[in-house]
C-alpha cells in the first residue's frame, strides 16, 4: 500500500497500480457477487463489476417495477442474472447490501436467513451497522462484514468508470471471520471502479458521510444558494442575473478550477477584486457556519439523525411527502430560472 502525505498527515492508500484489476479478478474468481437493490449505487457497482469480468448477479424485488425494468434494460436477464431478493441472496457468496438504509432495516430478517458461513456481507454505507441498536442489523458471527463506499453518486461511479477514471472510495472491515475480509474488500473496491481506496471504519464513514451530505455537499450548498439568490432578487436584480451569479458561474467555471488544482489556484485565476473580497469574507462565512456544523456532527454522532431518517423514510406516505418537498425546490423561482439558463448553454 502506498504512503501518501495529505497536508502534512501521512495516510496509507490502495492504488489501482498496486492492487490491479487482474489481482482483483484472482481474489474473486471463486466468488459470486450478489448485488441487492438496483436503485442508486446498485446499477453502477453491478455493471462496473460485470464489465471488469467479475461474476455478478442482481437481486431486486419485482414489485418495484421501475428498478426491475431498469435492470432488464441494462442487460440483466431474469432467471439467469436477475432474481428476486431472497433467491439472489441465497446464491451469492458476497452479498452487496445496496438498498436504502430504511429498506435495509425492513428486509434484514429475510436477508439474514440467506447468509451462509464464510459469506461476506458488503455495505457501501456504515449506517445500518453503526446504528444497529436502531436498525436491528446485527450480522451473524460467521460471516465477513465489509464496506466499500464510493465518494460519489451511483451516476458518477458509472460515468467515471466509462470515462476510464474512477471515484475514490473508503473501505473498512467490521468483522473478519474468514481471514480474507480485507483482501475481499480491496478486490471489490477495485472491481467497482474506484480511483483509489483509503481506510476508514464503519463509524467514521457514516459520521463523515451524513455530515457531508447535510453540509457542504448538499444541504449547506443549497441553503447558501437560496440565501444569496434571495438577497440579489430583493435588491432588484433579475432572475437571470441572480441565478448566473449564484449558481451558473460556480458550476460552469469556478468549481472546475478548484477541481483542477485547488481553491488557491481558483483564487489566483480570478480578478484581483474577486480575490480580495473572497479572502476577506471567507472567515466570516466560516465563523458563522461553524456552530451549525458542530451541532450537525453532534446530532449525527448521537444517532439523532439516524432516528430522523428511519422515522421519515419508513413512513407509508414518505414518497408523497418527498415529492412535495422536491416539487417546492424544483418550482422555486431560482431553479425554474436554472432550467431556462441550462437550455441556453451553447452545448444544448
Please identify every residue annotated as catalytic: 125
E strand spans, the chain: 2-6, 9-15, 33-36, 56-59, 82-83, 94-97, 120-123, 144-150, 167-175, 194-199
Give residue for cell 447490501.
97
Give residue for cell 496509507.
12
Distances (CA, A) of 251 to 221, 254, 255: 12, 7, 6
Distances (CA, A) of 83 to 71, 74, 123, 224: 10, 14, 20, 44
What is the β-pairing status of strands 144-150 and 167-175? antiparallel
Give residue for cell 414489485.
63
Instruction: Kindly state the cell numbers that stand for 228.
Output: 444569496
Distance CA 63, CA 38 (A): 12
Amino acid at each position: 500500500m502506498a504512503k501518501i502525505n495529505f497536508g502534512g498527515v501521512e495516510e496509507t492508500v490502495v492504488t489501482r497500480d498496486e492492487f490491479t484489476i487482474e489481482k482483483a479478478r484472482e481474489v474473486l474468481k471463486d466468488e459470486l457477487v450478489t448485488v441487492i437493490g438496483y436503485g442508486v449505487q446498485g446499477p453502477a457497482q453491478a455493471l462496473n463489476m460485470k464489465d471488469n469480468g467479475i461474476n455478478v448477479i442482481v437481486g431486486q424485488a419485482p414489485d418495484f417495477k421501475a428498478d426491475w425494468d431498469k435492470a432488464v434494460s441494462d442487460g440483466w436477464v431474469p432467471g439467469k442474472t436477475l432474481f428476486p431478493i431472497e433467491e439472489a441472496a441465497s446464491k451469492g457468496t458476497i452479498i452487496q447490501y445496496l438498498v436504502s438504509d430504511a429498506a435495509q432495516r425492513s428486509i434484514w430478517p429475510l436477508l439474514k436467513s440467506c447468509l451462509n458461513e464464510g459469506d461476506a456481507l458488503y455495505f457501501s454505507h456504515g449506517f445500518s451497522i453503526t446504528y444497529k441498536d436502531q436498525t436491528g442489523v446485527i450480522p451473524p458471527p460467521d460471516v465477513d462484514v465489509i464496506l466499500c463506499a464510493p465518494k460519489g453518486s451511483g451516476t458518477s461511479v458509472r460515468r467515471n468508470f466509462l470515462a476510464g477514471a474512477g471515484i475514490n472510495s473508503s473501505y473498512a472491515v467490521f468483522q473478519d471471520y474468514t481471514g480474507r475480509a480485507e483482501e475481499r474488500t480491496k478486490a471489490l473496491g477495485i472491481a467497482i471502479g474506484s480511483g483509489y481506496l483509503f481506510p476508514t471504519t464503519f463509524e467514521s464513514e457514516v459520521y463523515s458521510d451524513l455530515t457531508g451530505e447535510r453540509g457542504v455537499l448538499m444541504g449547506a450548498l443549497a441553503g447558501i444558494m437560496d440565501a444569496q439568490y434571495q438577497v440579489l432578487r430583493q435588491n432588484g436584480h433579475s432572475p437571470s442575473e441572480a441565478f448566473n451569479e449564484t449558481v451558473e458561474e460556480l458550476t460552469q467555471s469556478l468549481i472546475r478550477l478548484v477541481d483542477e488544482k485547488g481553491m488557491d489556484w481558483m483564487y489566483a485565476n480570478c480578478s484581483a477584486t474577486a480575490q480580495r473580497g473572497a479572502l476577506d469574507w471567507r472567515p466570516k462565512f466560516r465563523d458563522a457556519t461553524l456552530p451549525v456544523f458542530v451541532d450537525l456532527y453532534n446530532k449525527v454522532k448521537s444517532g439523532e439523525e439516524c432516528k430522523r431518517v428511519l422515522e421519515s423514510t419508513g413512513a407509508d406516505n414518505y414518497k408523497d411527502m418527498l415529492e412535495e418537498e422536491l416539487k417546492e425546490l424544483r418550482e422555486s423561482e431560482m431553479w425554474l430560472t436554472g432550467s431556462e439558463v441550462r437550455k441556453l448553454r451553447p452545448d444544448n
